[in-house]
Amino acid sequence: MFIINSPVEESIKLDNEIYLLKIHCPEIASVIKPGQFLNIRVSATMYPLLRRPFSVCDVDGEFIYLMFNIFGEGTKILSRKHKGDLIDILGPLGNGFKLDDDFETAVIVAGGLGAAPFPFFTKMLSDKKGIYSFVGGRSEHDVITYKMQNVQTSTDDGTKGFKGTVIQLLENNFDKIKNKKVKIFGCGPNAMLRALKEFAIKNNLNCEVSTECAMACGFGICQGCPIESTVHPEKYYLVCKDGPIFNVKDVVI
Amino acid sequence: MSKVDLSINMGSLKLRNPLLLASGTVGYGNEISEFTNLNNIGGIVTKSLSLKPRKGNPPQRIVETPAGMLNAIGLANVGVEVFLKEKIPFLKKFDVPLICNIAASSVEEYVECTRILTSEDFIKAFEINVSCPNVKEGGLQFGNDASMVGKITEKVKAVTNKPVIIKLSPNVSYISEFAKAVKDNGGDAVSAINTLVGTSFDIRTKKPKIHNINGGLSGPAIKPIALAKVLEINRKVKIPVIGIGGIMNWKDVIEFMIVGASAVQLGTLNFIDPSAGGKIISELEDYCIKLGINKISDLTASYII
C-alpha cells in the first residue's frame, strides 16, 4: 500500500459524460490487479473531507486510468483536474478478481459505471481466455463499452441494444456459453448483482462480483463498510479489506 | 536526542509525546502500522472492546457531512478474549503504550472486561467508553448520567492499578460535572470529547442515510465544540484531559493543549491520512524549537483569558 501524490497526465472526456483520468503512477501501475481499488483524496480542503474509492479502469505502462462520472462534489473536483495536478492516492486496496481459477471463458456482466474495472480486466485476460461482455444501462448514455471485447448491450428503455436488463440479455445468450467452462465477473448496481447471483446459483456457475459500500479509510480501520457473510454469519466481511470482490455464494447482496 | 522534551506525565501514565491515536480509528494497530511507525507514537487506543464479540450495525454505517462524518459502527469488535489471544501479540512487536478502550452494557461488564485485561502487562491504561446504552436502565447512555459515570469509575478503579481514563460524551449540558464525577471517584484522566449525536437524511427517499438513524459526528466540524468542552473542564476540575475532536494538523494539537489538554488523540484524520501521526509529532517538535519551548507540557492550559 502506498500514499502518494501522482501527477495527472491527461483528463479525457468520453462522449457520454464519462471522464477518464490518466495518472502517472508507476508505483501502483506495476502492482495493481484488476478489481482492486484506490482511495483518492480529491482536495486537501475540509469538504470533501474523506477519500473516495475508485476502481482502476486501465493500466498502460507507468500510467493508470480512473473512470468516473460527475456524481457529487468529489467527482466534480476530480473532473476539473488538469495535466500536472497532483492526485493524492492511497492504494492499491482490496483483493481483486481471481483470474487463476479453472475457467476457459470469462463472462463479464456490467451495469452502468460498473464497467469501470473491465478494460484492465480484459487487457489482462484477453490473450489467455475467451471473453463475452454483457453491458447494460438505463439508457444509451449509461452504457459504457470502453475497451471491452465481444460486447452485447442492453438498455432498460431500448435506446441501445436489447431492451431489458443485462441479466435478461445474459439469459437470452446463455446457450452460447453454457457448454463452455465459464466464470462470471459482475460489477454494477446492487439490484443487478442480486439478479446475477440468482442466475449464477440457478445455473451452478462460478461467479465473482465487485461490491460497493460507503467507506472512510479503505483498508479496514474505520469498519464502515460491512457486508453480510454467508460463510461467517457471526461477523460481517468488510468490503474494503475482505472484498471488494466476493464469490456471490459468500455474501448477501 | 530530541532537543525538545515532548514527554507527558498524566499521573502514573507516562507518554513519550502527547499524540495518541483514538479508539475506533486504528483498529488493533496492524493496518495503520503499515503507514505510521508506531514506535514514534505517544500511544494507541484500541477499538472499543466488549466482553463478548460484537458484530456491529448493518450497513450503511458511515456518511460524510460538511467537514465531518457520521458513523454508527455499533461497537463491532472481537471481544476481550480474542483480543488477548490474537491481537495483542502483534502489538507487542512495538514499543508503544497501549490503552484499551472498553465498552459495555452494564457496570458489571465494564468491571469484568477491566479485570480480565488488567493482568496483561502490555496494557498500560484503560479508557472507558461511557457512550454506550445502559441495558439495565432502559438503554439510556451511561455517559448522560454523572452519578453513573462516577459509579463506573469507582468500580473499574477497584479492579485495576492501571490508570483509568473516562471518555466523556459531549452530548450533555455541562461536561465539567462529569469530569468532576470521574475525579471524585478516583479516575486518573478524562478524554474529551467522544462524537456528537447527529443524523443525515436523503432528501429524495426521505430515509436516514445511516441504518442506525443517528450516528456520531466527528472531524474538523466538531473541533470548536471540543475545544470549548476541554476548556470548561480545565477551568472547573483539576484532572488531566486528553483532547479529541477534529484534529487535522499540528496547529490543532497546540490549540487543544493551550485550552487545557495534556495530550490529544487523532481520530478521523487517521482515515484520511494514516501516516499523519508521525508527521504531526515531528511538526510539533519543529514548532517548539522555533518558539524556544523546552517542554511541550508547558503549553497545557497556557491560555490567556
Please indicate, yes or no, if residue B260 is contained in any of the structural domains. Answer: yes
- Claim to verify: residue A150 and residue A185 sit in the same structural domain: yes
Please indicate, yes or no, if residue B229 is contained in any of the structural domains. Answer: yes
Which of B45, B64, B247, B269 would you mutate first to test chain A, the one with the most A CBs within 10 A?
B64
Q: CA–CA separation, B224 vs B236, rounded Å?
A: 19
pLDDT tens figures, B228-274:
999 999 999 999 999 999 999 999 999 999 999 999 999 999 999 99
pLDDT tens figures, B106-137:
999 999 999 999 999 999 999 999 988 877 77
Put simply, whether B63 touches A (Cβ < 8 Å) is yes
- Claim to verify: residue A122 and residue A173 sit in the same structural domain: yes
pLDDT tens figures, B43-99:
999 999 999 999 999 999 999 999 999 999 999 999 999 999 999 999 999 999 999
Q: Is the pLDDT of residue B302 over 80?
A: yes
Which of A39, A219, A222, A237 would you mutate first to test chain B, the one with the most B CBs within 10 A?
A222
Residues of chain B contacting A219 with CB distance shorter than 8 Å: 31, 274
The letter for the amino acid at B227 is: L
pLDDT tens figures, A47-61:
899 999 999 999 999
Q: Is the pLDDT of residue B2 over 60?
A: no
Q: Output phi, psi for B6, to 5 deg.
A: -90, 0
pLDDT tens figures, B197-211:
999 999 999 999 999
Q: Which of B47, B63, B68 sits opposite A214 (nearest CB)?
A: B63
Provide mean pLDDT across the span B125-154.
Answer: 90
- Claim to verify: residue A113 and residue A204 sit in the same structural domain: yes
Burial of B55 per CB tally in 10 Å (0-12, 13-18, 19+): middle
Question: What is the pLDDT at residue A126?
Answer: 81
Q: Residue B132 catalytic? A: yes
Contact criterion met (CB < 8 Å) for A222 and B32:
no
How close B147 gets to chain A, by Cα (Å)? 32
Which of A1, A5, A40, A49 would you mutate first to test chain B, the one with the most B CBs within 10 A?
A49
Q: CA–CA separation, A141 vs A144, rounded Å?
A: 8
Please indicate, yes or no, if residue A192 is contained in any of the structural domains. Answer: yes
User: By C-alpha distance, which of B27, B17, B35, B86 is closest to B250?
Assistant: B17
- State yes or no: cis peptide before A48, omega within 30 of 0: yes
Question: What is the pLDDT at residue A64?
Answer: 98
- Claim to verify: residue A20 and residue A83 sit in the same structural domain: yes
Question: What single string gives the DSSP state of each residue in B197-227?
Answer: EEE-B-TTT-SBSSTTSEEEEESGGGHHHHH
pLDDT tens figures, B8-25:
999 889 999 999 999 999
Please indicate, yes or no, if residue A135 is contained in any of the structural domains. Answer: yes
Please indicate, yes or no, if residue A234 is contained in any of the structural domains. Answer: no
Please indicate, yes or no, if residue B36 is contained in any of the structural domains. Answer: yes
- Claim to verify: residue A11 and residue A67 sit in the same structural domain: yes
Whether residue A178 contacts residue A107, with contact meaning beta carbons closer than 8 Å, is answered with no
Residues of chain B contacting A71 with CB distance shorter than 8 Å: none
- The residue in chain B having the minimum alpha-carbon distance to the alpha carbon of residue A39 is B272
Q: Output phi, psi for B81, to 5 deg.
A: -65, -50
Which parts of chain A sit beneath pLDDT 50? none
pLDDT tens figures, A121-176:
999 998 889 999 999 999 999 999 999 999 999 999 999 999 999 999 999 998 88
Beta bridge partners of A213: none
How many other CB atoms sit within 10 Å of the CB of residue B282? 12
- Claim to verify: residue A117 and residue A206 sit in the same structural domain: yes
Q: What is the CATH number of the domain that holds A156?
A: 3.40.50.80
Whether residue B200 contacts residue B65, with contact meaning beta carbons closer than 8 Å, is answered with yes
Report the number of distinct structural domains present in chain B.
1
User: By C-alpha distance, which of B230, B234, B211, B219 is closest to B266?
Assistant: B219
Report the number of distinct structural domains present in chain A.
2
Contact criterion met (CB < 8 Å) for B272 and A222:
no
Tell me, what's the ipTM?
A: 0.95
Angle subtended at Cα A47 by Cα A45 and Cα A51, rounded to the nearest 5 degrees: 85
Please indicate, yes or no, if residue B280 is contained in any of the structural domains. Answer: yes
Contact criterion met (CB < 8 Å) for B274 and A217:
yes
Residues of chain B contacting A237 with CB distance shorter than 8 Å: none
Last residue of a domain, one of A37, A60, A93: A93
- Claim to verify: residue A86 and residue A167 sit in the same structural domain: no
Pull the grid cell for residue A170: 445474459
Question: What range defines the domain where residue A17 resides?
Answer: 2-93
Put simply, whether A190 touches B (Cβ < 8 Å) is no
- Claim to verify: residue A77 and residue A34 sit in the same structural domain: yes
Put simply, whether B58 touches A (Cβ < 8 Å) is yes
Please indicate, yes or no, if residue A132 is contained in any of the structural domains. Answer: yes
Question: What is the pLDDT at residue B120?
Answer: 97
Please indicate, yes or no, if residue A240 is contained in any of the structural domains. Answer: no
Q: CA–CA separation, B179 vs B143, rounded Å?
A: 11
- Claim to verify: residue A84 and residue A113 sit in the same structural domain: no
Please indicate, yes or no, if residue B203 is contained in any of the structural domains. Answer: no
The alpha carbon of B250 is separated from its chain's Cα centroid by a whole number of angstroms, namely: 18
User: By C-alpha distance, which of B47, B152, B168, B147 is closest to B105?
Assistant: B152
- Claim to verify: residue A79 and residue A54 sit in the same structural domain: yes
Q: What is the CATH number of the domain that holds B172?
A: 3.20.20.70
Please indicate, yes or no, if residue B205 is contained in any of the structural domains. Answer: no
User: By C-alpha distance, which of A196, A173, A177, A178 is closest to A246?
Assistant: A196
Q: What is the CATH number of the domain that holds A82?
A: 2.40.30.10
Please indicate, yes or no, if residue B52 is contained in any of the structural domains. Answer: yes
- Claim to verify: residue A69 and residue A119 sit in the same structural domain: no
Contact criterion met (CB < 8 Å) for B47 and A223:
yes
Question: What range defines the domain where residue B81 resides?
Answer: 8-56+74-196+218-299
Pull the grid cell for residue B221: 466540524
- Claim to verify: residue A120 and residue A195 sit in the same structural domain: yes
